[in-house]
Amino acid sequence: MEASAEPLGELARRLQERCLADGLSVATAESCTGGLVGHILTEVPGSSGYYRGGIVSYADQAKVELLDVPVATLEAHGAVSAQVALAMAQGVRHRLHSDLAVAVTGIAGPGGGSDAKPVGLTYVAVADAAGEVVRRHLWSGNRAANKREAAATAIGLLLERLGEGSGE
Amino acid sequence: MEASAEPLGELARRLQERCLADGLSVATAESCTGGLVGHILTEVPGSSGYYRGGIVSYADQAKVELLDVPVATLEAHGAVSAQVALAMAQGVRHRLHSDLAVAVTGIAGPGGGSDAKPVGLTYVAVADAAGEVVRRHLWSGNRAANKREAAATAIGLLLERLGEGSGE
């Protein structure tokens, strides 16, 4: 099933169990989700055992100064792009000294969309010691639903990177 | 009425309306709430017009390296203290170049409490150009409820600092 069909809290519990068992730490870099991924992870008691924290880079300045996203990358590809998602994941992993890092950048809506980058377009990236992966998504819900889809996908991608299935 | 008796979304809408009208920006520094304040603020369409972003400093290292909380302050008073809450608010205001900043540090539970610092103990601080204020709270809910109380109080303190009542 889709990662997002599994309740958010259950995804967070699975991630925590796996990270605590393996001694792995996690950090988050969030744009359109605004802190929702961190909120979900920290709803689970004991999350401080593996979740180091995160950066909510709503303004582009925060992406550059706090996550080390190159200005040239932002200017060439835009804030909602695979390149920026990857740079955010790498940046927060470095800044928070975590084993794994996940980044989300997208257009939650209802404003901010364009023909090239419509509302719902979201990139989710994960970085770890072995490298990084990024995925493109296009959701069709309202702002709140798009944020939740993005958060579920972010936690699901962390689980996938750890070799955990999405509950199938 | 208590700020927390007003729905979280309504508090966020009032804050956004006031900040957009006055041209003020906001940043968040969250420990025990884990990103919930940022999530609530960004549920409102148009929040990118005033919300610059935030730092979720779950690990003490993040408080020091990303929020410039002095190690001596952490060691002298502990992560859950008025002094650290104030330093977090000042730190995120500086790092995100915002007009207003709010910080939350507390013990959401169920673990982590002690006689001196029981579960539910939370400090909320706001910093702006005129100075800063910090409040001590002690909530008695479960982890999820304590996080929500802290988030509501954080947004309420921003509104109060702007001269807005809490809906009375």
Q: Which stretch of DSSP H or E encloses residue B80? A: none
What is the predicted pLDDT for the residue at A5?
61
Q: Give the residue on A whose Cα is nearest the Cα of B57.
A: A53
Domains, chain A, in order of start with CATH, read: 3-161 (3.90.950.20)
What is the predicted pLDDT for the residue at A90?
98
At which residue do the structure tokens 């007009």 appear? Answer: B99
What is the predicted pLDDT for the residue at A3?
46
At which residue do the structure tokens 């958010």 appear? Answer: A8
Q: How many CB atoms lie within 10 A of CB B115?
A: 5
Check whether B13 has a pLDDT greater than 50: yes
Check whether B1 has a pLDDT greater than 60: no
B49 at interface of A, judged by CB pairs closer than 8 A = no
Q: How many CB atoms lie within 10 A of CB A145?
A: 15
| Helices and strands counted in chain B (H then E) | 6, 5
What is the predicted pLDDT for the residue at B5?
62
Q: With an 8 Å Cβ cutoff, are A109 and B45 in contact?
A: yes
- Segment B56-89, tens digit of pLDDT: 999 999 999 999 999 999 999 999 999 999 999 9
Residue numbers in chain A where pLDDT is lower than 70: 1-5, 166-168
B79 at interface of A, judged by CB pairs closer than 8 A = no
Enter the DSSP assignment of A103. E
Average pLDDT of the residues in B16-32: 98
Q: ipTM value of the model?
A: 0.95
- Segment B110-159, tens digit of pLDDT: 999 999 999 999 999 999 999 999 999 999 999 999 999 999 999 999 99
Check whether B102 has a pLDDT greater than 90: yes
CA distance A108 to chain B (A): 9
What is the predicted pLDDT for the residue at A44?
98
Strands B26-30 and B100-106: parallel
Mean per-residue pLDDT over chain B, rounded = 95
Question: Which ranges of B4-162 does DSSP label H, i.e. alpha helix?
Answer: 8-22, 36-41, 60-67, 71-77, 82-95, 143-161
A95 at interface of B, judged by CB pairs closer than 8 A = yes
What is the predicted pLDDT for the residue at A148?
97
Q: Cβ contacts (< 8 Å) between B57 and chain A: which residues?
A: 53
What is the predicted pLDDT for the residue at B166?
60
B30 three-class SS: strand
At which residue do the structure tokens 């794994």 appear? Answer: A100
A43 at interface of B, judged by CB pairs closer than 8 A = yes
What is the predicted pLDDT for the residue at A102?
98
**What is the pLDDT confidence band of residue B2, given thresholds at 50, 70 and 90?**
very low
Q: Cβ contacts (< 8 Å) between B97 and chain A: which residues?
A: 61
What is the predicted pLDDT for the residue at B6?
78
Q: Which of B38, B53, B66 sits opposite A59 (nearest CB)?
A: B53
- ∠ CA A37-A40-A44, nearest 5°, is 140
Q: Cβ contacts (< 8 Å) between B41 and chain A: which residues?
A: 34
| Helices and strands counted in chain A (H then E) | 6, 5
What is the predicted pLDDT for the residue at A168?
44
